[in-house]
Amino acid sequence: AQSVSQHNHHVILSEAASLELGCNYSYGGTVNLFWYVQYPGQHLQLLLKYFSGDPLVKGIKGFEAEFIKSKFSFNLRKPSVQWSDTAEYFCAVTNAGKSTFGDGTTLTVKP
């Protein structure tokens, strides 16, 4: 069974700090990869997605993620976080119609 592991449960950063959230998945075949964000009081929103091609994908609000196939990883990055990035972030993997989410990383950005 495929699984998704997000290494950090809670990350606290100051504004302008750089962000990297780890995501590893277990499935060895072809997968589609996603990062979702859930702002306080809002529903899940798609940040970015990877299907194939350039392993560095850019999403909304200055986020990007790099797919490293050899490491089964899809880490999320942002060069300079803002207070408004405070949210919960979920990594997800989809294969053959089945989606698996990680347990999420809560990001708190201090102003």
Partner 1 sequence: DAGVTQSPTHLIKTRGQQVTLRCSPISGHKSVSWYQQVLGQGPQFIFQYYEKEERGRGNFPDRFSARQFPNYSSELNVNALLLGDSALYLCASSQGQGGYTFGSGTRLTVV
For partner 1, the closer CB: 18 or 32: 32
What would the x/- binding string for partner 1 be over residues 16 to 55, using CB under 8 A? ----------------x-x-x------xxxx--x-x----
Q: Where are the beta strands (DSSP E) in 1-111?
A: 4-5, 10-14, 19-21, 24-25, 32-38, 45-50, 56-58, 64-68, 73-78, 87-95, 98-101, 105-110
DSSP label at 81? -
Residues within window 71-110 making contact with partner 1, judged by CB under 8 A: 90, 92, 94, 96-104
The binding site for partner 1 (CB under 8 A) comprises: 1, 4, 32, 34, 36, 43-46, 49, 51, 90, 92, 94, 96-104
